[in-house]
Amino acid sequence: MKRESPRPDDPERAAYVDALRRLARRDHSEQELRLALARKGHDEGVIDRVAAKLRGERALDDRRFAEAYSRSRLSHHGLGRQRIRQDLRRRGVARATAEAALKEALADVPEEQMLDTLARRYWSTHPHDPPAHRVRKLWAFLVRRGFPSDVVHGRLRALWPRWQDGLDGLEPDDE
Protein backbone atom coordinates (compact mmCIF):
# COMPACT_ATOMS: atom_id res chain seq x y z
CA MET A 1 0.00 0.00 0.00
CA LYS A 2 1.35 3.37 -1.00
CA ARG A 3 1.65 6.03 1.69
CA GLU A 4 -0.18 9.21 1.07
CA SER A 5 2.35 12.01 1.20
CA PRO A 6 1.27 15.41 2.45
CA ARG A 7 0.66 18.11 -0.10
CA PRO A 8 3.79 20.18 -0.66
CA ASP A 9 1.73 23.37 -0.40
CA ASP A 10 0.81 22.58 3.24
CA PRO A 11 4.08 22.71 5.24
CA GLU A 12 2.33 22.36 8.60
CA ARG A 13 0.63 19.15 7.53
CA ALA A 14 3.92 17.82 6.14
CA ALA A 15 5.71 18.54 9.44
CA TYR A 16 2.83 17.03 11.39
CA VAL A 17 2.95 13.83 9.34
CA ASP A 18 6.75 13.63 9.74
CA ALA A 19 6.37 14.10 13.49
CA LEU A 20 3.69 11.41 13.76
CA ARG A 21 5.84 8.96 11.80
CA ARG A 22 8.71 9.51 14.23
CA LEU A 23 6.43 9.21 17.26
CA ALA A 24 4.92 6.01 15.88
CA ARG A 25 8.36 4.37 16.01
CA ARG A 26 9.19 5.51 19.56
CA ASP A 27 8.58 8.30 22.04
CA HIS A 28 10.72 11.40 21.72
CA SER A 29 11.37 14.36 23.93
CA GLU A 30 10.10 17.62 22.53
CA GLN A 31 13.64 18.80 21.84
CA GLU A 32 14.51 15.61 19.97
CA LEU A 33 11.40 15.95 17.81
CA ARG A 34 12.07 19.62 17.11
CA LEU A 35 15.65 18.85 16.04
CA ALA A 36 14.50 16.01 13.79
CA LEU A 37 11.90 18.21 12.10
CA ALA A 38 14.44 21.01 11.65
CA ARG A 39 16.88 18.54 10.04
CA LYS A 40 14.13 17.61 7.58
CA GLY A 41 13.96 21.28 6.60
CA HIS A 42 10.76 22.35 8.32
CA ASP A 43 10.38 26.00 9.30
CA GLU A 44 10.77 26.98 12.97
CA GLY A 45 7.31 28.56 13.12
CA VAL A 46 5.76 25.44 11.62
CA ILE A 47 7.65 23.27 14.13
CA ASP A 48 6.34 25.41 17.00
CA ARG A 49 2.74 25.00 15.83
CA VAL A 50 3.13 21.26 15.27
CA ALA A 51 4.73 20.79 18.70
CA ALA A 52 1.91 22.72 20.34
CA LYS A 53 -0.68 20.63 18.50
CA LEU A 54 1.02 17.37 19.50
CA ARG A 55 1.25 18.50 23.14
CA GLY A 56 -2.46 19.32 23.04
CA GLU A 57 -3.19 15.85 21.67
CA ARG A 58 -0.89 14.37 24.36
CA ALA A 59 1.18 12.70 21.64
CA LEU A 60 4.20 14.69 22.80
CA ASP A 61 4.81 14.64 26.55
CA ASP A 62 8.27 15.05 28.07
CA ARG A 63 7.12 13.69 31.43
CA ARG A 64 5.77 10.48 29.90
CA PHE A 65 8.87 10.16 27.70
CA ALA A 66 11.21 10.63 30.68
CA GLU A 67 9.37 8.05 32.79
CA ALA A 68 9.40 5.42 30.03
CA TYR A 69 13.02 6.17 29.18
CA SER A 70 14.10 5.95 32.83
CA ARG A 71 12.22 2.73 33.47
CA SER A 72 13.62 1.13 30.31
CA ARG A 73 17.21 2.16 30.99
CA LEU A 74 17.04 0.94 34.58
CA SER A 75 15.41 -2.41 33.94
CA HIS A 76 16.65 -3.42 30.49
CA HIS A 77 19.88 -1.54 29.85
CA GLY A 78 21.47 -1.69 33.28
CA LEU A 79 22.09 2.01 33.66
CA GLY A 80 22.12 3.85 36.95
CA ARG A 81 20.36 7.04 37.96
CA GLN A 82 23.27 9.38 37.24
CA ARG A 83 23.70 8.14 33.68
CA ILE A 84 19.94 8.27 33.02
CA ARG A 85 19.73 11.79 34.46
CA GLN A 86 22.55 12.88 32.16
CA ASP A 87 20.93 11.23 29.11
CA LEU A 88 17.57 12.88 29.80
CA ARG A 89 19.20 16.31 30.13
CA ARG A 90 21.03 15.71 26.84
CA ARG A 91 17.67 14.93 25.23
CA GLY A 92 16.34 18.29 26.39
CA VAL A 93 14.14 17.17 29.26
CA ALA A 94 13.84 19.84 31.97
CA ARG A 95 15.71 19.09 35.20
CA ALA A 96 12.55 18.98 37.36
CA THR A 97 10.77 16.72 34.86
CA ALA A 98 13.76 14.38 34.66
CA GLU A 99 14.04 14.17 38.45
CA ALA A 100 10.35 13.41 38.91
CA ALA A 101 10.42 10.74 36.20
CA LEU A 102 13.58 9.17 37.61
CA LYS A 103 12.06 9.07 41.10
CA GLU A 104 8.97 7.35 39.69
CA ALA A 105 11.07 4.80 37.79
CA LEU A 106 13.26 4.07 40.82
CA ALA A 107 10.10 3.29 42.80
CA ASP A 108 9.17 0.65 40.19
CA VAL A 109 12.63 -0.75 39.41
CA PRO A 110 14.96 -1.11 42.41
CA GLU A 111 18.38 0.18 41.43
CA GLU A 112 20.18 -2.08 43.88
CA GLN A 113 18.62 -5.17 42.32
CA MET A 114 19.87 -4.15 38.87
CA LEU A 115 23.28 -3.33 40.32
CA ASP A 116 23.49 -6.80 41.92
CA THR A 117 22.54 -8.47 38.65
CA LEU A 118 25.17 -6.54 36.70
CA ALA A 119 27.81 -7.15 39.37
CA ARG A 120 27.25 -10.90 39.40
CA ARG A 121 27.30 -11.07 35.61
CA TYR A 122 30.51 -9.06 35.45
CA TRP A 123 32.11 -11.17 38.18
CA SER A 124 31.36 -14.43 36.37
CA THR A 125 32.55 -13.18 32.98
CA HIS A 126 35.98 -12.05 34.29
CA PRO A 127 37.22 -15.21 36.05
CA HIS A 128 40.88 -14.72 35.08
CA ASP A 129 41.31 -11.46 37.00
CA PRO A 130 42.48 -11.87 40.59
CA PRO A 131 39.47 -11.21 42.87
CA ALA A 132 40.90 -8.09 44.55
CA HIS A 133 41.66 -6.60 41.12
CA ARG A 134 38.31 -7.77 39.75
CA VAL A 135 36.35 -6.01 42.51
CA ARG A 136 38.16 -2.71 41.74
CA LYS A 137 37.43 -3.06 38.02
CA LEU A 138 33.82 -3.94 38.82
CA TRP A 139 33.48 -0.82 41.00
CA ALA A 140 34.74 1.36 38.12
CA PHE A 141 32.44 -0.40 35.64
CA LEU A 142 29.34 0.18 37.77
CA VAL A 143 30.19 3.82 38.50
CA ARG A 144 30.66 4.44 34.76
CA ARG A 145 27.20 2.94 34.17
CA GLY A 146 25.77 5.67 36.38
CA PHE A 147 25.27 4.00 39.73
CA PRO A 148 26.12 6.20 42.73
CA SER A 149 29.55 5.28 44.08
CA ASP A 150 28.29 4.96 47.68
CA VAL A 151 25.63 2.45 46.59
CA VAL A 152 28.18 0.52 44.51
CA HIS A 153 30.63 0.50 47.39
CA GLY A 154 28.03 -0.85 49.82
CA ARG A 155 26.68 -3.50 47.47
CA LEU A 156 30.13 -4.82 46.52
CA ARG A 157 31.11 -5.04 50.20
CA ALA A 158 27.90 -7.00 50.85
CA LEU A 159 28.25 -9.29 47.81
CA TRP A 160 31.94 -10.09 48.19
CA PRO A 161 32.95 -9.36 51.79
CA ARG A 162 36.04 -11.54 51.41
CA TRP A 163 37.44 -9.17 48.77
CA GLN A 164 36.27 -5.87 50.26
CA ASP A 165 39.84 -4.74 50.94
CA GLY A 166 40.13 -4.46 47.13
CA LEU A 167 37.82 -1.45 47.49
CA ASP A 168 40.25 0.39 49.77
CA GLY A 169 40.99 3.81 48.32
CA LEU A 170 37.79 3.79 46.25
CA GLU A 171 35.84 5.81 48.74
CA PRO A 172 32.25 6.65 47.92
CA ASP A 173 31.29 10.23 47.07
CA ASP A 174 29.28 12.18 49.58
CA GLU A 175 25.94 12.40 47.75
Cα–Cα nearest to 83, from 107, 114, 56: 114
111-167: same fold as 62-108?
yes
List Cβ neighbours of 107 (8 Å cut-off, separation of 6 or more): none
Contact between 53 and 63 under an 8 Å Cβ cutoff? The reply is no
The per-residue pLDDT string of the chain (175 residues; one tens digit each, 9 = 90 and over) reads 555 555 567 899 999 999 999 999 999 999 999 999 999 999 999 999 999 999 999 999 999 999 999 999 998 999 999 999 999 999 999 999 999 999 999 998 888 888 999 999 998 998 898 888 888 889 889 999 999 988 888 888 888 877 766 666 666 554 4
For 111-167, CATH number out of 1.10.3470, 1.10.10, 3.40.390, 3.40.50 equals 1.10.10
pLDDT for position 173: 54
pLDDT for position 175: 47
pLDDT for position 88: 97
The pTM assigned to this predicted structure is 0.80
Q: Where are the domains of the chain?
A: 11-56, 62-108, 111-167
Residue type, 46: V
Can you name the CATH fold of 62-108? Arc Repressor Mutant, subunit A (1.10.10)
